[in-house]
Amino acid sequence: NHNPKTSIVLFGATGDLAKRKLYPSIYNLYITGKLSEQFVVIGIARRPWDDQTLRDNVRKAIEEAHLPTDNIEQFCNHFFYLPFDVTDTKSYQRLNQRLQELETEFHIPGNRIYYMAMAPEFFGTIAIQLKNEGVTQSDGWNRLVIEKPFGHDLPSAQKLNNEIREAFTEDQIYRIDHYLGKEMVQNIEVIRFANAIFEPLWNNRHISNIQITSSEVLGVEDRGGYYETSGALRDMVQNHLLQMVLLLSMDPPIRLATDEVRSEKIKVLRAVRSISSEEADDYFIRGQYDAGTIQDHQVPGYRSEKNVNPESKTETFVSGKLMIDNHRWAGVPFYVRTGKRMAQKSTKIVVQFKDLPLNVYTQKNEKQDSSIHPNLLVIHIQPDEGITLILNGKKIGLLGETIPVKLDYSHTSVDGVNTPEAYERLIYDCMLGDATNFAHWDEVNLSWALIDPISEAWSDSNKDIAKYEAGTMGPIESERLLEKDGFKWWPLE
Ligand code: NAD
Across the beta sheet with 466-469, the strand order is 402-411, 385-394, 376-382, 346-353, 207-215, 334-339, 317-322, 284-290, 466-469
pLDDT score of 367 = 54
Look at residue 2 and tell me whether its pLDDT is greater than 90: no
Identify the active-site residue in 78, 152, 240, 380: 240
Q: Is 240 designated active site? A: yes
Residue 407 confidence (pLDDT) above 50? yes
The verdict on the CB of residue 315 being under 6 Å from ligand 1 is no
- State yes or no: pLDDT of 411 exceeds 80: no
Q: What is the pLDDT of residues 129-157, one digit of tens each?
A: 999 999 999 999 999 999 999 999 999 99
91 within ligand 1 shell (Cβ under 6 A)? no
Could you tell me if the CB of 120 is within 6 A of ligand 1? yes
Nearest atom in ligand 1 to the alpha carbon of residue 19 is: 26
Stretch 189-194: mean pLDDT, rounded?
Answer: 93
pLDDT surpasses 80 at 116: yes
Query: What pLDDT does residue 416 have?
Result: 47
Name the pLDDT band for 412 (thresholds 50, 70, 90): low
Q: What is the pLDDT of residue 122?
A: 92
Which ligand 1 atom is the nearest neighbour of the CA of 45?
21
Residue 369: predicted pLDDT: 53
**Looking at the predicted structure, is the pLDDT value of residue 177 above 70?**
yes
Query: Rounded to an integer, what distance in angstroms lies between the CA atom of residue 175 and that of residue 146?
Result: 5
Three-class SS of the chain: CCCCCEEEEEECCCCHHHHHHHHHHHHHHHHCCCCCCCEEEEEEECCCCCHHHHHHHHHHHHHHCCCCCCCHHHHHCCEEEEECCCCCHHHHHHHHHHHHHHHHHHCCCCCEEEEECCCHHHHHHHHHHHHHCCCCCCCCCEEEEECCCCCCCHHHHHHHHHHHHHHCCHHHEEECCHHHHCHHHHHHHHHHHCCCCCHHHCCCCCEEEEEEEEECCCCCCCCHHHHHCCCHHHHHHHHHHHHHHHHHHCCCCCCCCHHHHHHHHHHHHHHECCCCHHHHHHHEEEEEEECEEECCEEECCHHHCCCCCCCCCCCCEEEEEECECCCCCCCCCEEEEEECCECCCEEEEEEEECCCCCCHHHHHCCCCCCCCCCCEEEEEEECCEEEEEEEEEECCCCCCCEEEEEEEEEECCCCCCCCCHHHHHHHHHHHHCCCCCCECHHHHHHHHHHHHHHHHHHHHCCCCCEEEECCECCCHHHHHHHHCCCCCCCCCC
pLDDT at 368 over 60: no
Mean pLDDT of the residues in the chain:
93
Q: Is 452's pLDDT higher than 60?
A: yes
pLDDT-derived band at 21 (thresholds 50, 70, 90) equals: very high
Contact 332, 208 (CB under 8 A): yes
| Ligand 1 center–CA 171 separation, angstroms | 24
CA of 143 to the centre of ligand 1 (A): 19
Tell me what the mean pLDDT of segment 92-113 comes to.
97
| Minimal-distance CA residue to ligand 1 atom 42 | 17
- Band the pLDDT of 362: cuts 50, 70, 90: low
Most ligand 1 atoms within 8 A of CB, residue of 9, 16, 44, 438 to mutate: 16
In this prediction, residue 370 carries a pLDDT of 59
- Give the residue-averaged pLDDT of 317-346: 98
For ligand 1, whether the C-beta of 46 sits within 6 Å is yes
Answer with the residue of higher pLDDT: 36 or 243.
243
Ligand 1 atom nearest the C-alpha of 120 is 32
Rounded Cα–Cα distance for residues 457 and 460 (Å): 5
**What percent of the chain is modeled with pLDDT above 90?**
85
For residue 361, name the pLDDT band (cuts at 50, 70, 90). Answer: confident
For ligand 1, the distance from its centroid to the CA atom of residue 380, given in whole angstroms, is 30
pLDDT tens-place string over residues 217-266: 999 999 999 999 999 999 999 999 999 999 999 999 999 999 999 999 99
Confidence band for 3, pLDDT divided at 50, 70 and 90: confident
* Residue percentage of the chain with pLDDT more than 70: 96
Model confidence at 162: pLDDT above 50: yes
Residue 417 pLDDT:
42
What is the distance in A from the centroid of ligand 1 to the CA of 149?
11
Is the CB of 126 within 6 Å of ligand 1?
A: no
